[in-house]
Amino acid sequence: MSAGISVHAVDVASGRPGLGMKVEIHRILPDGSRQSVAEGRLGADGALHHPVTKGEGVQEGVHEVLFHIGAFFAESASPPPPFLELVPFRFRVFDASLHYHLPIKFTPWGFSLYRGA
């Protein structure tokens, strides 16, 4: 796989992808400020379709993905009571020529994040 950052989200309680979930990717600059790398909503496959997945805008350094889980459930037909709101995933890109796949498995009450293959 080519360089880039990809995200994939699955609601494991319902067995469905995170269709429509808002996701943001930022680079955290040395002074602590944020530089937007990507923003969008996940497609029917639960993935973010953005040029960042092919490496556009990816640099070495600290990055953070923000998963808007609270809004995802609030927009559903029968939302559960709110618990999770915004789930951050901060990680380091140590080689911009590599691909960083960041899947999240989530429910209204918990999540699991990891670097995938």
User: What is the mean pLDDT of the segment spanning 59-76?
Assistant: 93
Residue 3 has pLDDT above 80, yes or no: yes
84-110 pLDDT, tens digit per residue, is 999 999 999 999 999 999 999 999 899
SS3 percent helix, strand, coil of the chain, rounded to 5, is 10, 45, 45
Average pLDDT, the chain: 93
Range from 31-45, 66-80, 84-98, 101-115 carrying the lowest mean pLDDT: 66-80
Please give the pLDDT value at position 99: 95
Chain centre to alpha carbon of residue 101: 9
**Beta carbons of 67 and 110 less than 8 angstroms apart:** no
| SS3 label, residue 70 | helix
| SS3 label, residue 102 | strand
Residue 11's nearest CA partner among 94, 79, 95 is 79
